[in-house]
Amino acid sequence: MTDRRRLIDRRDFLTAAGAVYLSSLAPAALAATLETDAVFATAYQRRDGAYGAAILSEAGQILRVVELPDRGHDITFDPVSGRSVVFARQPGTFFVVFDHAGKMQPVTVQSVAGRHFFGHGVFSSDGALLYATENDFDNAAGMIGVYDAGAGFARLGEFPTHGVGPHELLLLGDGRTIAVANGGIETHPDFGRAKLNLPTMKPSYALVDRMTGDLIEKHELPSALHQLSIRHMDTDQTGAVWFGCQHEGPATERPALVGRAVRGKELELIEMPEPVLSGFRNYIGSVAANRKAGTIAVTSPQGNAFSIIDAATAKVVATRLLTEVCGVAPDRSGFLVTTGTGSIVEPDGRSSEDADHVWDNHALRIEA
């Protein structure tokens, strides 16, 4: 009962805090854009320091914003209800549910005691449940929190990710298996974002049954690569999962940073030409697949570069330099990318800058 009451109190708080602002587009133009085109969603920081999430047109126009109490991270979308959820960046303790068409007031949900979010989540295919990676920080154990999307996002329970420091998670094509990137890095909110176990970290990739919580498969990289944190993922046109890593070992080491996971097989790391790999500065910030085009994009804000990989041959087909590029989402036959300096670049290279916002690490495509 106590929990239920707290949830209601939280929602009152939310209505007050999560103001939504319409863009300066004329209402008719806005409606037309929302109905006909794909739109994109990303967390941002305004140059005056305020945080939020924005719905953007392909051309970089802000269609709508949702204010956030602190820095956001990734956004996930439920096509059934048309709602999106933006998660607080780790070690944040909230997520905000909003509707990019602006038909409902945003709702903010707090994490339960002893847990915080890692910034990523995913809906079940029917939109009934929301899954979020969470930190059971006192036990240094990764968890997937389960929320009832039909009942005000009440937390129904949780199951382990079978690893430390889970980051992104995906719902695989069977609609039942959740893939989790256990980054392996132990953190505790008492010590901010400090990494507490670098000498002994052990990242893994786990498949978990979302119905039972059972572990289906778990894979680790070879022990020599135990400091290679698996963090972001997307699924290609064949159902294989592509993942991007961040190396926590010495900068003089240049391990492979991108890999592929196929059910029932060991993880496979993808070779890249040395200058491309070296240019990523041991850091992949985001991974996205364009399933129609059969390509994967990996971005590196540390390296100010991103590459496009042909999924079938696992070869890098293009590399671009772009300052602080990180957010990436499939668009037409390529990718739309966003940067920490406020620019949005379309697949054809057309770029728009935003004087008031800089874009956070991830971008999401929302189909109209």
Partner 1 sequence: MKILHHPSAVAAAVALATVVCLCGGPASASKATDIVTRSIDGFIRPGYRAFHQSTSALYEAGKALCTAPSQAALDADRATFAKTVDAWSRIETIRFGPVAEQSRLERILFWPDRKATGLRQVQAALADKDPTVTDATGLAGKSVAMQGLGALEFVLYGAGSEALATGDEHRCAYGAAISGNLDAIAQELETAWAAPDGFAAIWANPSAQNPQYRDGTEAVTELMGVFVTGTELVRDVRLGGFLGKDAAADKPRQALFWRSNKTVDALAGNLAGMRDLLEASHLADALPAEASYMGKSALFEFANAASAAKGADGPIAAVLADPDRRAKLAYFGLVTSSLSDIFGTQMSGALGLTAGFSSLDGD
Q: Which residues bind partner 1 (CB under 8 A)?
A: 45, 73, 89-90, 119, 140, 167, 186, 188, 190-194, 196, 198-199, 231, 246, 249-252, 254, 273, 275-276, 278-279, 283, 285, 301-302, 304-305, 316-324, 326, 339-343, 345, 349, 351, 353, 358-361
Q: How far is the CB of 12 from partner 1 (least distance, A)?
A: 23
Q: How far apart are CA 59 and CA 61, in angstroms?
A: 6
Q: Which is nearer to partner 1, 264 or 349 (CB)?
A: 349
- Sheet containing strand 241-247, edge to edge, reads 228-235, 241-247, 258-261, 268-269
Q: Which is nearer to partner 1, 18 or 119 (CB)?
A: 119
Would you call 246 helix, strand, or coil by DSSP?
strand
Q: Supply 340's token pair.
A: 């920490």
End-to-end CA distance of the chain: 39
Length of the chain in terms of residues written: 368
Q: Which is nearer to partner 1, 107 or 233 (CB)?
A: 233
Q: How far is the CB of 303 from partner 1 (least distance, A)?
A: 9
Q: How far apart are CA 345 and CA 88, in angstroms?
A: 25
Would you call 35 helix, strand, or coil by DSSP?
helix
H/E stretch holding 96 reads: strand 94-99
Q: How far is the CB of 285 from partner 1 (least distance, A)?
A: 6
Q: Which is nearer to partner 1, 10 or 320 (CB)?
A: 320
Q: How far is the CB of 359 from partner 1 (least distance, A)?
A: 8
- What's the Cα-to-Cα distance from 11 to each of 1, 18, 50, 98, 351, rounded to whole Å? 16, 10, 21, 13, 38
Q: Supply 176's token pair.
A: 């039942």
Q: How far is the CB of 220 from partner 1 (least distance, A)?
A: 19
Q: Which is nearer to partner 1, 64 or 73 (CB)?
A: 73
Cis before 91 (ω within 30): yes
Q: How far is the CB of 300 from partner 1 (least distance, A)?
A: 8
Q: Which is nearer to partner 1, 10 or 254 (CB)?
A: 254
